[in-house]
């Protein structure tokens, strides 16, 4: 990790501070869910055209995938903040769940090991 990279907790605090100083207030949860869907759609469009089989339009060629993924992260953080979720704790629980549940699943998946 970069020396100045924020932790998830710091990212949540930074978004919250921005919302309350520049953004005025959080959009409601339903609006943020719609915004998340929109942002994920923008990521999907880039992936489908840049890495998938669709041809990339000239207007898509300068779109920054990293920026679009950061937009998704921003809205996820907003939703976590306004619903009282600590993303650090949630991520740690999720990683533990995946590690215990899927300990051998992917290693034994012939579809993954044929490459």
- DSSP-assigned states of every residue in 63-99: --HHHHHHHHHHHHHHHHHHTT--HHHHHHHHHHHHH
Q: Where are the domains of the chain?
A: 8-84, 87-115
Considering only residues 2 and 104, tell me which one the structure prediction assigns the higher pLDDT. Answer: 104
8 Å CB contact between 95 and 8: no
Architecture of domain 8-84: Orthogonal Bundle (1.10)
Considering only residues 106 and 75, tell me which one the structure prediction assigns the higher pLDDT. Answer: 75
pLDDT for 107 equals 80
pLDDT at 93 over 70: yes
Between 8-21 and 65-82, two packed helices, what is the crossing angle to 10 degrees?
Answer: 80
Instruction: Give the dihedral of Cα atoms 4, 99, 87, 43; nearest 10 deg.
Output: 80
Query: pLDDT, tens digit, for every residue of 29-76?
Result: 999 999 999 999 999 999 999 999 989 888 888 999 999 999 999 999
């Amino acid at each position: 990790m970069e020396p100045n990279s924020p932790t998830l907790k710091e990212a949540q605090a930074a978004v919250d501070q921005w919302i309350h100083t520049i953004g005025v207030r959080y959009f409601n949860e339903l609006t943020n869910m719609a915004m998340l869907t929109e942002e994920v759609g923008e990521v999907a469009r880039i992936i489908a055209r840049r890495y998938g089989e669709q041809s990339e339009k000239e207007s898509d060629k300068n779109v920054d995938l990293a920026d679009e993924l950061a937009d998704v992260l921003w809205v996820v953080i907003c939703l976590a903040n306004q619903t009282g979720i600590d993303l650090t704790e949630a991520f740690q629980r999720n990683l533990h769940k995946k590690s215990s549940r899927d300990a051998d699943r992917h290693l034994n998946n012939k579809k993954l090991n044929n490459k």
